[in-house]
């Protein structure tokens, strides 16, 4: 991890799902800018430890916390644990909350089950609402809240009806957050990626050899996105340059399906 302009020095970020892919890059980008980072993982403890090690090598503090965000059963206990980390660090509160943890699903309307539906809704939307609610008392005024939406809330592809519509709900939730939290100077925005060449989509890319080329052909900038494209956008919103941006859905897709 290289040091850049450390405009977030002294700030603290919480990134859910920070052990791999987009979450990993977001955590590292914020640390490069000077932030101390709390990151969560569900199952991949070793990967999360590796991210924390890289952050600490850059002389920033890092803490990894396990949490299962398939619903809200662990939310209150997790928020209390976050409070303990903040106290141990001598911090007043969180400055950035990045709701990145989520699950994908390719399910046609003819095959979706109630169990599958609930898993998508619980992780991608319900847990975001109630985790944000639980952490608001620990958010500093002037802070930043970011949700990770999806290009699939704007354009449609078969098999993603439930996933795409839940991401649309998340994006609108961020606008409502912006309205309610404006008096505290807290901004809230959604970053909505297009198709990404990350392990999140690895199986689809492996099973469909022509998929990468197809995505490039329908994208103005001619390629799939990478995790660092999203991490850079999140870091911008958390920087002084993002101070007057709130309530927005910002698509980071290279111009997919224009």
What Cα–Cα distance (Å) separates residue 88 from each residue in 20, 157, 176? 26, 46, 32
User: 176 catalytic, yes or no?
Assistant: no
Orientation of helix 75-88 relative to helix 127-135, angle to 10°:
40
Distance CA 61, CA 200 (A): 27
Distance CA 12, CA 34 (A): 9
The single-letter DSSP state of residue 241 is: G
Q: What angle do CA 49, 55, 60 make, to 5 degrees?
A: 125
Cα 148 versus chain centre, distance:
4
Catalytic residue among 41, 125, 160, 163: 163
Known catalytic residues? 163
């Amino acid at each position: 991890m290289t040091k850049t302009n450390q405009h977030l020095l002294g700030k603290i970020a919480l990134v859910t799902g920070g052990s791999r892919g987009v979450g990993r890059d977001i955590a590292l980008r914020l640390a490069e800018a000077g932030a101390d980072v709390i990151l969560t993982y569900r199952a991949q403890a070793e990967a999360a430890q590796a991210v924390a090690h890289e952050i600490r090598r850059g002389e920033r503090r890092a803490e990894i916390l396990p949490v299962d965000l398939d619903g809200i059963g662990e939310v209150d206990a997790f928020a209390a644990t976050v409070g303990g980390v903040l106290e141990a660090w001598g911090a007043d509160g969180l400055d950035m909350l990045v709701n990145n943890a989520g699950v994908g699903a390719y399910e046609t309307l003819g095959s979706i089950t109630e169990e599958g539906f609930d898993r998508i809704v619980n992780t991608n939307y319900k847990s975001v609402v109630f985790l944000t609610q639980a952490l608001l008392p620990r958010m500093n005024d002037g802070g930043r809240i970011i949700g990770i939406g999806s290009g699939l809330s704007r354009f449609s592809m078969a098999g993603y009806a439930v996933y795409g519509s839940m991401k649309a709900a998340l994006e609108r939730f961020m606008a409502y957050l912006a309205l309610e939290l404006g008096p505290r100077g807290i901004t809230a925005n959604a970053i909505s990626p297009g198709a990404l060449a990350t392990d999140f989509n690895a199986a689809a890319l492996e099973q469909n050899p022509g998929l990468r080329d197809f995505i490039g052909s329908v994208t103005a900038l001619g390629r799939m996105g990478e995790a660092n494209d999203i991490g850079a956008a999140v870091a911008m919103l958390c920087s002084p340059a993002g101070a007057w941006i709130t309530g927005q859905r910002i698509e980071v897709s290279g111009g997919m399906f224009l």
